[in-house]
């Protein structure tokens, strides 16, 4: 029997908790890569785009080993979107509708997240797909304190700087002296616990052809998305909770916001937290769920 949270014919609403320790969970490119924050409250933010990027990357990593048909990634680094559309027509597609169906069959992220495929040549487009999975911004429980950490590299980038530095004929205080090292920086938050929410629409899933295997791949990628995305400024990212509310029909038995309130982390009111244990126990109210709604925790220790 298929587990309830793997049934694409049901509505699912989910809550997730992301922990950042001395890491940058989502840098703002318009602000020098500094961790995103709400300027009014000081709370940290992680965009839906950042989360979906990690899910896409994880599905791609898994599929590079398992090599299952239909689990390619549409929005992938180094590949032009228009080239993806043209693949559909080079295979079996003859018009926009058949091209869209081909894209849904071929690409995991088109089936799950949707896509706007209206670029490129007029006769090689695939229309617009509304995906069944929608993820909101994650917001930290308390304010965070972004840090700009200076770092030094022992060698400069340009050979000219090395030559000028070693040239004894150039005075040490000259602007042409070159340099021996280069400075840089890393942007991190010492600690942040972020809560986010998401939704799965069964009617939209039927349109894009989502299967139980797709949902299994999605939840698997969600739980693993930080494990294969490590970097110096992302070494301390971890998924601390993934809670899935499943309805017994396609349209839902209770408003999602009421379900989300059942997963609560008590704020400390400041930015002093430095570990998950500082927040105590996550409150999970699952004893009086609305009729037709079940709750599954997909992390054993959450």
The model's pLDDT over 117-154, given as tens digits with 9 standing for 90+, comes to 999 999 999 999 999 999 999 999 999 999 988 877 77
pLDDT, position 168: 73
Q: What are phi and psi of 51, to 5 degrees?
A: -70, -45
Q: What is the mean pLDDT of the chain?
A: 93
Q: 83 and 174: one domain? A: no
Q: 271 and 215: one domain? A: yes
Which positions ≥6 away from 52 have C-beta within 8 Å? 109, 113, 135
Q: 207 and 167: one domain? A: no
Q: Is the pLDDT of residue 302 over 70?
A: no
Lowest mean pLDDT among 94-108, 146-160, 208-222, 286-300: 146-160
Whether 119 maps to a domain, the answer reads yes
pLDDT, position 127: 96
3-state secondary structure of 31: helix
pLDDT, position 157: 75
Whether 54 maps to a domain, the answer reads no
Q: What are phi and psi of 273, to 5 degrees?
A: -60, 140
pLDDT tens digit string along 183-223? Answer: 677 899 999 999 999 999 999 999 999 999 999 999 999 99
> What residue has token string 């972020």?
194
Comparing 203 with 164, the larger pLDDT belongs to 203
Comparing 206 with 172, the larger pLDDT belongs to 206
> What residue has token string 């081909």?
102
pLDDT tens digit string along 47-58? Answer: 999 999 999 999
Q: 72 and 164: one domain? A: no
Q: 131 and 141: one domain? A: no
Domain membership of residue 129 as a residue range = 68-135
Q: Is the pLDDT of residue 2 over 90?
A: no
Q: Is the pLDDT of residue 178 over 90?
A: no
The three-state (H, E, C) secondary structure of the chain, written as one string = CCCHHHCCCCCEEEEEEEEEEEECCCEEHHHCCEECECCCCCEEEECHHHHHHHHHHHHHHHHHHHCCCCCECCCCCCCCHHHHHHHHHHHCCCCHHHHHHHHHHHEHHHHHHEEEECCCCHHHCCEEEECCEEECCEEEEEECCCEEEEEEECCCCCHHHHHHHHCCCCCCCCCCCCCCCEEEEEEEEEEEEEEEEEEECHHHHHHHCCCHHHHHHHHHHHHHCCCCCCCHHHCCEEEEEEEEEEECCCCCCCCHHHHHCCEECCCCCCCCCCCHHHHCCCEECCCCCCCCEEEEECCCCC
The mean pLDDT value for 67-91 works out to: 96
pLDDT band at 288 (very low <50, low <70, confident <90, very high): very high
pLDDT, position 175: 66
Comparing 171 with 243, the larger pLDDT belongs to 243
> What residue has token string 């993934």?
242
Q: 250 and 284: one domain? A: yes
Measure Cα distances from 220 to 82, 197, 242, 269, 298 in Å: 29, 17, 11, 33, 9
Q: 209 and 74: one domain? A: no
Whether 61 maps to a domain, the answer reads no
Whether 212 maps to a domain, the answer reads yes
Whether 157 maps to a domain, the answer reads yes
Comparing 178 with 200, the larger pLDDT belongs to 200
Q: 229 and 268: one domain? A: yes
pLDDT band at 166 (very low <50, low <70, confident <90, very high): confident
Helix axes 48-66, 212-224, angle to 10 degrees: 110
Nearest-angstrom CA–CA distance, 287 and 226: 31
pLDDT tens digit string along 29-51? Answer: 999 899 999 999 999 999 999 99
Q: 141 and 153: one domain? A: no
Whether 63 maps to a domain, the answer reads no
Whether 244 maps to a domain, the answer reads yes
If one counts the domains in the chain, the total is 3
Q: 178 and 282: one domain? A: no
Structure tokens at 36: 């995103």
pTM: 0.91
pLDDT tens digit string along 226-270? Answer: 999 999 889 999 999 999 999 999 999 999 999 999 999 999 999
Q: 26 and 81: one domain? A: no
Whether 52 maps to a domain, the answer reads no
Comparing 158 with 6, the larger pLDDT belongs to 6
Q: Is the pLDDT of residue 165 over 80?
A: no
Q: 197 and 266: one domain? A: yes
> What residue has token string 């992938």?
76
């Amino acid at each position: 029997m298929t587990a309830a949270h793997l049934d694409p014919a049901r509505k699912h609403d989910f809550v997730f908790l992301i922990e950042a320790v001395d890491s940058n969970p989502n840098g703002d490119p318009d602000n020098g890569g500094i961790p995103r924050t709400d300027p009014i409250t000081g709370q940290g933010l992680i965009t839906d785009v950042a989360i979906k990027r990690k899910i896409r990357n994880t599905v791609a990593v898994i599929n590079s080993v398992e090599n299952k048909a239909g689990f390619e990634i549409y929005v992938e680094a180094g590949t032009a979107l228009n080239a993806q559309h043209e693949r559909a027509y080079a295979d079996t597609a003859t018009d926009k509708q058949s091209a869209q169906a081909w894209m849904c069959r071929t690409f995991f992220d088109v089936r799950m997240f949707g896509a706007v495929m209206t670029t490129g040549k007029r006769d090689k487009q695939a229309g617009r797909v509304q995906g069944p999975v929608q993820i909101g911004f994650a917001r930290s429980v308390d304010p965070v304190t972004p840090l700009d950490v200076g770092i030094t590299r022992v060698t400069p980038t340009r050979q000219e700087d090395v030559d000028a530095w070693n040239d004894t004929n150039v005075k040490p205080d000259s602007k042409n002296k070159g340099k021996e090292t280069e400075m840089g920086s890393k942007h991190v938050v010492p600690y942040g616990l972020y809560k986010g929410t998401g939704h799965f629409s069964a009617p939209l899933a039927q349109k894009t052809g989502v299967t139980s295997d797709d949902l299994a791949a999605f939840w698997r990628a969600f739980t693993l998305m930080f494990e294969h995305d490590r970097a110096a400024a992302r070494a301390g990212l971890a998924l601390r909770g993934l809670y899935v509310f499943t309805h017994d029909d396609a349209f839902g038995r209770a408003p999602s916001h009421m379900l989300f309130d059942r997963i609560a982390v008590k704020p400390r009111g400041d930015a002093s937290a430095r570990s998950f244990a500082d927040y105590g126990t996550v409150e999970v109210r699952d004893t009086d769920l609305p009729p037709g709604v079940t709750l599954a925790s997909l992390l054993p220790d959450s």
